[in-house]
Amino acid sequence: MDHWLEGRIVEKHQWTDKLFTLRIDAPISSFKPGQFVRIALDIGGERIARPYSCVNTPEESYLEIYYNTVDGGPLTSALLSVNVGDKIWVARHASGFFTLDEVPDAENLWMISSGTGLGVFLCLLKTKTAWERFRNIRLIHAVRYPKELTYGETIQGIKSAHPQCFDYIPFVSREKVPDVLEGRIPQAIEDGRLEDRAGIKLEPDTSQVMICGNQDMISDTSEILKNRGFRRNRRRNPGHITTEKYW
Ligand SMILES: Cc1cc2nc3c(=O)[nH]c(=O)nc-3n(C[C@H](O)[C@H](O)[C@H](O)COP(=O)(O)OP(=O)(O)OC[C@H]3O[C@@H](n4cnc5c(N)ncnc54)[C@H](O)[C@@H]3O)c2cc1C
């Protein structure tokens, strides 16, 4: 069977000059929440493909991806000019291990994201499993500017559905914003601001941490957590930190 499916863009939402959500009609195979699909365009006679986490759950009828344009990036530059009705290649099968079945049980689940790393967590938060397995869930989203704090309505919906168990903790690094934590996540863990805001303890006996976004944020956050006794989660040696690196 052909690896690529011809999808069709059914919605394009522009959040900022660089941040976009695409909804695509493409009958991909069943997948696990937390997995990614490869998306491609034919550019200059070459098929350029990149992975994107699914923001939609397997039950939703469309595929949704959330991404930012990267200066000089081949695919995201080309995605600037795609529109509703255009065709786009989508790999038939999703893959990846950033799924809840890879995360050991715990009382608290911390979902730590930077930038478009938010999307994969929205997918996981739409599942029943997340709420059946963890008593408290905290979604942390770090961006540079307040306009990059996207998906507000979706997050508000999750908050309303799970008022006792869920909280959303935004971070903005380059502006001061009321009710939003300043600076970077690793520092806020180190100086206790994140736990104060979350109202729960970030300790290995009770917590699992999933981290998604850029390499620097993932490695700096992981280092701070390791100093507190957290270990990387591996199938053969379960720990507490599960990561997905976008770049
Ligand atoms: C498993 C996986 C899942 C991913 N899921 C997503 C997703 O859901 N949303 C998303 O936006 N991206 C995601 N990415 C990154 C994505 O695949 C592309 O790399 C990105 O969209 C840029 O594509 P490009 O062809 O324009 O540039 P590329 O040729 O891929 O990258 C050009 C340069 O930009 C850097 N870069 C890559 N992504 C970014 C970024 N977001 N911001 C700044 N610099 C970047 C790269 O390190 C490289 O140096 C994922 C990556 C992986 C490995």
Is the CB of 51 inside a 6 Å radius of any atom of ligand 1? yes
Q: Is the pLDDT of residue 192 over 90?
A: yes
Closest atom of ligand 1 relative to the 244 alpha carbon: 1
With a pLDDT cut of 90, the percent of the chain lying above it is 99
Contacts of 125 (CB under 8 A, 6+ apart): 111, 137, 139, 158, 166
- Whose Cα sits closest to atom 51 in ligand 1? 246
- The mean per-residue pLDDT over the stretch 128-150 comes to 98
Rounded to two decimals, the pTM is 0.97
pLDDT at 2: 73
pLDDT tens figures, 193-245: 999 999 999 999 999 999 999 999 999 999 999 999 999 999 999 999 999 99
Buried/exposed code over 127-159 (b: 16+ C-beta within 10 A; e: otherwise): beebbebbebbbbbbbbeeeebbbbeeebeebe
- The mean per-residue pLDDT over the stretch 176-191 comes to 95
pLDDT tier for residue 1 given thresholds of 50, 70 and 90: low
The per-residue pLDDT of the chain, averaged, comes to 97
Is the CB of 238 inside a 6 Å radius of any atom of ligand 1? no
pLDDT tens figures, 20-52: 999 999 999 999 999 999 999 999 999 999 999
Phi/psi of residue 110, each to 5°?
-105, 125
Helix (H) or strand (E) holding 225: helix 215-227
Is the CB of 73 inside a 6 Å radius of any atom of ligand 1? yes
Is the CB of 76 inside a 6 Å radius of any atom of ligand 1? yes
What domains appear along the chain, each with residue ranges and CATH number?
Answer: 4-91 (2.40.30.10), 100-245 (3.40.50.80)
- Whose Cα sits closest to atom 27 in ligand 1? 73
Is the CB of 70 inside a 6 Å radius of any atom of ligand 1? yes
- Whose Cα sits closest to atom 18 in ligand 1? 50
Q: How close is the Cα of 40 to the center of ligand 1, in Å?
A: 13
